[in-house]
Amino acid sequence: MDISVIVPLYNEEESLPELFAWIKRVMKKNEFSFEVIFINDGSTDRSWKVIERLREENPNEVKAVKFRRNYGKSPALYCGFERAEGDVIITMDADLQDSPDEIPELYRMVTQDNYDLVSGWKKVRRDSKFTKNLPSKLYNATARKITGLKLHDMNCGLKAYRRDVVKNIEVYGEMHRYIPYLAKNAGFERIGEKAVAHQARKYGYSKFGLNRFVNGYLDLISLWFLSKFGRKPMHFFGLVGSLVFLLGLLAVIAVGGAKLIALYEGVRAPLVTDSPYFYLALVAMILGTQLFLTGFVAELVSRNASGRNDYKIEKEI
C-alpha cells in the first residue's frame, strides 16, 4: 500500500464527509493505493456515526478506532501509527484546515528525495494573530533553539513519514508536538519541511486552548532532559549536586577561615552563626547531597529498567 492517512478527531462530524471525499479524489487522481484511519478521540457528537457510514461505503479504504473517552492527540496518533500499513504515513487534522492536495508532494519528498519525515509549515496562517500566531512563533523559536531542528512549524498537524519512523517512535502524553524531535532522537536525521496551505476553519471551533503553550514548554524541557540524560541521570544530578556541595564547602571554609584568622590575631571573632554565609553554606551542602543521592537512585532505576538495552538497529548482516 502506498499511503496511510491518519486523522485524529474530536467532534468534527460536519467536516468528515468532505474531508474523506477530498482525500479520495486526490488519491484516485494520482493512482495511489491508500487507507484512511480515523481515530475518534471520545467525540460526543455524531462523528462515529459518520465514520461508520464512510466505512460501509468504502470498506477497503476506511479504518477507524473509537476511544471510550477523550485521551488527546498523542494517544490517537500512537494508535494510528500502530495500525498503519502504508509505505508513507500522512497525518492531518480533521477540521479541513489541512489540505489533502499537499499529499502528492509530501509523498514525493519521502519516496524520491529520501526524507524520513517532512513537516508542514503553515507559512500563511488563517488563525487569530494574537491568540495563535504570536504564541506559535515564540513556541517554535524556543523549540528550534532547544532541539536543534530548523523547522518553522514543528506542531503542524500535516506531516509525512517513512513507515520505519512511525514504527520506531513512541508518542505519549502530549508529545505529538515534538514528533520531529522524537524521530531525530531515534536516529532519523533526514527531516525536511514543506510550506503548506492553511485553510480557514469551516465548521465548529478549535479544541485547543492557550494552556497548550504552557504544557508544550514543559513537555519540551522533559523531552530534552530525557534525550540527554534519560540513560545516565547521574551525569546531571551528580554533577550539579557536586558543584552545589562544593560551593557550600568553600563557603564553610571561608567562614571558618575568617574565624581562625581572627582568633590567631587576638581579635574578638564574631560567632560563626552570625554570618549569613554559614546558612548559605549549610543549605548548599544539604541540597548538593540531596541532588547527588537523587542521581544515584535514578541511576539504579535506569540500570534496572527493562528497556535499558533497547537500541534501534537499522540493519544487520
* Averaged pLDDT for residues 122-147: 71
Give the percent of the chain with pLDDT over 90: 48
> In the predicted model, is pLDDT for residue 9 greater than 90?
yes
Residue 87 one-letter amino acid: D
173: CB partners within 8 A, 6+ apart: 72, 74, 219
pLDDT digits (tens, 9 = 90+) for 234-266: 888 888 999 999 999 888 888 888 778 877 777
pLDDT digits (tens, 9 = 90+) for 194-208: 999 887 777 766 655
Q: How far is residue 309's CA from residue 302's CA, in Å, rounded to a whole number?
A: 10
> In the predicted model, is pLDDT for residue 98 greater than 70?
yes
pLDDT digits (tens, 9 = 90+) for 53-80: 999 999 999 999 999 999 989 999 999 9
> In the predicted model, is pLDDT for residue 305 greater than 70?
no
Cell of 272: 560563626
* Averaged pLDDT for residues 5-23: 95
> In the predicted model, is pLDDT for residue 127 greater than 70?
no
Cα of first residue to Cα of last residue in the chain, in angstroms, is 27
pTM more than 0.85: no
Q: How far is residue 108's CA from residue 97's CA, in Å, rounded to a whole number?
A: 22
Q: If you average pLDDT over every residue of the chain, what do you get?
A: 85
* Averaged pLDDT for residues 82-97: 94
Nearest to 233 by CA among 297, 288, 287, 181: 297
